[in-house]
Amino acid sequence: MPGNIVIVDYGMGNLRSVLKKFEQIKIPAVISSDHHVVAKADKLILPGVGHFSAGMNSLAAYNLLDSLHESVLIKNKPILGICLGLQLFANHSEEGNCNGLGWIDADVCRFRVSDKLKYKIPHIGWNTVDIIKESPIIKGIDNHSSFYFVHSYHIICQQKQDVLTLTEYDYNFASSIEKGNIFGTQFHPEKSHDIGEKLLKNFADL
């Protein structure tokens, strides 16, 4: 059942796009920066657009770190990180030389493509995903489905079992992850039309 879904507002996300997508699939969700509201959520969405270190600083400034850690690591509530939100789950990022939340054993690095004319950075547009393992969040989604991406950095998982899908952009990178109750997508499901709606509905149904 969807339960109480909170889209975490820490001043860095495309919040309205995510909320609008939940409205389209008729699943209640709210946007909040209040750590009390975040703490009471059944499920959490951590969106994000922008700089990694600014994102970590904003989570601290909004007094959200303790609530997020308790919800995710102690109470094991499902969380979905989108784009920067996923990257913040990692140990460290090259972007700002900054430590992340440390929820997954991963680091964030800038794309190092072999041909900068052929492979523009940021990576923008539709690209396919190769499904590496089964997961309830991608139930009913076909292998090689296309999702919408906008990013210059990507995660490198040290634990291969955490990788849910791979995407090729000059080389393969982890385009989504799953570690227990922690889910993340480098792509934007809220911008990925019907297939993105399916993924968000799957998350709500966890």
Does this model's pTM top 0.75? My answer is: yes
Question: How high is the pLDDT of residue 194?
Answer: 95
**199: which 2 tokens?**
């993924």
SS3 call for 76:
coil
> Parallel, antiparallel, or unpaired for β 171-179 and 98-99?
unpaired
Active site residue 98: no
Q: Say how many C-beta atoms besides its own lie within 10 A of residue 77's C-beta.
A: 22
Candidate list 134, 178, 188, 197, residue with the active-site label = 188
Confidence at residue 1, expressed as pLDDT on a 0 to 100 scale: 57
Q: Which of 83, 95, 123, 157 is catalytic?
A: 83
pLDDT (0 to 100) of residue 43: 98
E strand or H helix that includes residue 92: strand 92-93
Query: Of 35, 151, 178, 190, which residue is the catalytic one?
Result: 190
Superfamily of the domain at 5-204: Class I glutamine amidotransferase (GATase) domain (3.40.50.880)
Give residue limits of the domains in the chain.
5-204
pLDDT for res 13 = 79
Q: Which residues of the chain have pLDDT under 70?
A: 1-2
For tokens 């989604």, the residue is 141
Residue 12's SS3 state is: coil
190 as an active site residue: the answer is yes
CA distance 81 to 206: 15
Report pLDDT digits (tens) over 44-89: 999 999 999 999 999 999 999 999 999 999 999 999 999 999 999 9
Does residue 144 have an active-site annotation? no
Specify the pLDDT at position 2: 67
In whole angstroms, give the CA distance from residue 18 to residue 6: 11
